[in-house]
Amino acid sequence: MSANKTLLLLLSAFAVLSFSGALYMYNEYRVLDQNYQAIQENIDNVSINIDFIVDFGNGTIIYFNQTRVPVGFTMYDSTEFIIGEENVDSTYYSDFNAYFVNSLLGTGNNPEYAWSAWHYQQDWELLEIGSNLFIPKDGQTIAWYYQDVNEFGLGNPN
């Protein structure tokens, strides 16, 4: 009988410890979830979601859907932010206060082809200003399109 009491006591202690552990883990989960929600609200206040496309003009297209960029970033800033500054080669022209993108992700520097900047409203539209002057809105789609200079501004990305 003494062995049964000891076993019962051990099982009871194990049950209490298991319940306490589960309660502790649940409480920790709730705290982490609350912290996550607070961080998400802060992120929403300082960033926007954009869809970013790089169309190489040869059938290869890279999509960066629902990508967060800081509020106020231009298309040029967003490009460097998303694909990395080291993957953007450009020349700044102070007379126009604009960058000419020579190459993206190693593609470019070909005198017969050029990168063009586009945004989607109800249809694709070629940017009429430098990409460093265009600030995308939350939920907007922007694209870089590598195309033959003789067809520049024709067709559309994607």
pLDDT at 9: 86
Say if CB 133 and CB 110 are below 8 A apart. no
Using alpha carbons, list the distances in angstroms from residue 21 to 10, 14, 103, 138.
16, 10, 56, 43
Separation of alpha carbons 134 and 120, rounded Å? 13
- Top pLDDT among 11 and 107 is at 107
Least confident of 22-26, 61-65, 73-77: 22-26
- Domain ranges (residues) in the chain: 47-151
When pLDDT is cut at 50, 70 and 90, the band that residue 1 belongs to is low
The architecture of the domain spanning 47-151 is Beta Complex (2.170)
pLDDT at 116: 96
pLDDT at 34: 83
Residue positions counted in the chain: 158
Helix boundaries (H) for 1-157 = 2-46, 75-83
- The per-residue pLDDT for range 19-62, each reduced to its tens digit, is 888 988 988 888 888 888 887 777 777 899 999 999 999 999 99
Q: Closest Cα to residue 106, out of 53, 65, 56, 141?
A: 56
pLDDT at 114: 96
Query: In the predicted model, is pLDDT for residue 13 greater than 80?
Result: yes
- The per-residue pLDDT for range 86-130, each reduced to its tens digit, is 999 999 999 999 999 999 999 999 999 999 999 999 999 999 999
Query: In the predicted model, is pLDDT for residue 148 greater than 70?
Result: yes
Using alpha carbons, list the distances in angstroms from residue 85 to 11, 88, 89, 106.
61, 5, 8, 12
- Top pLDDT among 39 and 63 is at 63
Using alpha carbons, list the distances in angstroms from residue 79 to 28, 99, 108, 122.
38, 12, 15, 22
Least confident of 5-14, 80-89, 100-109: 5-14
Using alpha carbons, list the distances in angstroms from residue 80 to 3, 106, 129, 143.
71, 13, 18, 13
pLDDT at 31: 82
Backbone angles phi, psi at 90, to 5 degrees: -145, 165
Query: In the predicted model, is pLDDT for residue 84 greater than 90?
Result: yes
